[in-house]
Every structure is written in structure tokens, then in C-alpha cells.
Structure 1
């Protein structure tokens, strides 16, 4: 059964009871990575292993996400700024138990000389104490999932030769 979550804003990445952040570096340039994240939503299942379906909703202002295991999210995009290389969304409705609020933010920056990208994914959540403890324990798995997704996305973008 789907439940409504507490709506949160971008500041939740700083105030959430649970904040998990992961970083990696990609060979693809930031603009190309941003496009894959924010504009090619339906492509997420091809590179993020946990995602089995992704589609934009509300004219691109939202997303519908389905994960392996049957978890579903209805999301609102709260930041899609190609200039700042920032993409963030909050979950408005889910069937995941225990979750009260969730916001995910992707921040991109040039990785130094050359076209590479430093990518930071912040997972900010709230729920009961047992949920918070479980999420803290899930940190290593989320980190592996993130790093695998970044490697797969980078390989896919390289195969496209970093073109639009």
C-alpha cells in the first residue's frame, strides 16, 4: 500500500536524521553525466542496477521509479539545474515501510584536468529509530550500488563517445 511521505526541500540534505553521501569520479564530462541523470530518466534501468523502471511524470516535474523487490516511488524533482550541475528529487509516495521522508541529491563537478566528472550522491532520509539504524547498516550496500551504477553509466557514456 502506498503512503504519502513528508515533503522536504533541498535543505533536508543537511538536516535529515540519516545522511549518506557517496563520491566517485567518472571519465565522462559533467554536462554529459547531467544529461543522463536529469534528462534521460527512462535510461536509468540500463545503468543503475536497483532500478527496473523509471519514467518522467507531470511533464518532467516528477518521476515514477520501481526498484528490484517491488519498491515503488512517486517523486517530485526539487532541483534540475544544468548550470550548477545539480539534480535532486524527493519521494512523495512509496510502498517502502518505515520511511517518513527521503530526498536524493546528485552534485556534479569537473574532476580536474580533462573532461572527467566528480559525482556526489547524497541520500537523506527520516524514519523511526529502527529504520534509521537499518539504513545505517545498509550504507555499505548502498555504496556498492552507487559505485556500480557510476561505473556502468560511465561505460555506457564512453560507448556513446560522450555525444548528445
Structure 2
């Protein structure tokens, strides 16, 4: 595991590489926010590629493992209910990364939620190019994950 450069929330706007994806969910912002911020373990059931996620540091951080073996130890930087959830990666075994922050913005949208995910990264030019080339795949993974989350939340609503 390597230590990454600690970045703050403004990195979501200033990062050398920013990938932004958006989707509309039928679930209301409160339910989407709860899935993002409160049900850390649940990420493995809806976010493509997440094999395991667990809260760390009493909820101030997360320990995330991807299906391929990549690991992220994160610090939560923003947790504003129904509005914003953001975290930075502090340590990882992913090669090349210098800094990584992910921000989730939630906006009410006719009873549902407009969800925007910003993937903000820094690394050497070859890594940034690889991430740019991976953008279509990341977009597909995000959209599939958003659909899976929406289905999961609809099922929870129908069960309750």
C-alpha cells in the first residue's frame, strides 16, 4: 500500500483528470444518500467491481476492495445528507495514482434523484491517458451501478 497525496474537496474541480458521469434514479435523495454514506457494506451489492466495502475509523473512512484485488483506504471529506458525499483515497495498491477523490452529488429530480459522480485523479501522463481511454467503460459501469442501486432501493421500499 502506498500513501497518496492528501487532497481536499476542491480537488474535484482542480484535478488534472476529471471524469464526470450522471444518471437519474427513481429513488428519492434521502434513500440514495443513505445507500452511499450509511450502508458502506451494501456497495458490494450494487457498485460494479466492488468486492467488499467496510467502514473504518468509526465511520470517518472506508476500506474498499475491488474484484481485481485493488484496495483503497479512504477518508470521508463531505457527508451532507441528500446533497453530497465525497471521499479521498489515502492509501492504495493501485499503481501510478498520486491522488484520487470521488464526489457524489445528489439533486432532487421530480421525486427521484439526479446523481452525479466525479472521479478526480492525479498521476503521471500514461496513467491519465489510460483513465481517459477507460472512460467509456467507467461510464457503463457507473450507469449499470446506478440502475442496480435504484432497483435495490425500489426493492427495499417495496419490502418496507
TM-score of Structure 1 vs Structure 2, range by shorter chain: over 0.9
Unmatched segments (≥5 aa) in structure 2: none
Question: Per the alignment, do residues 76 and 162 of structure 1 end up closer, same or farther by CA in structure 2, a change over 3 Å counting?
Answer: farther
Counterpart CA distance in 1 for 2:156 and 2:10 is 35
Regions of 4+ moved over 3 Å: none
Question: What is the aligned partner in structure 2 of residue 148 from structure 1?
Answer: 144
1:8 deviates by 0.2
Question: What is the aligned partner in structure 2 of residue 82 from structure 1?
Answer: 81
Alignment RMSD: 1.2
Question: Per the alignment, do residues 38 and 162 of structure 1 end up closer, same or farther by CA in structure 2, a change over 3 Å counting?
Answer: farther
Counterpart CA distance in 1 for 2:43 and 2:99 is 22
Question: What is the aligned partner in structure 2 of residue 8 from structure 1?
Answer: 7
Question: What is the aligned partner in structure 2 of residue 111 from structure 1?
Answer: 109
Normalized against structure 1, the TM-score is what? 0.95
The answer to whether the Cα contact below 8 Å between 1:32 and 1:162 also exists between their aligned partners in 2 is no
Normalized against structure 2, the TM-score is what? 0.97
Q: How does 1:4-153 map to 2 (within 5 A)?
A: 4-82=3-81, 85-112=83-110, 115-153=111-149
Unmatched segments (≥5 aa) in structure 1: none
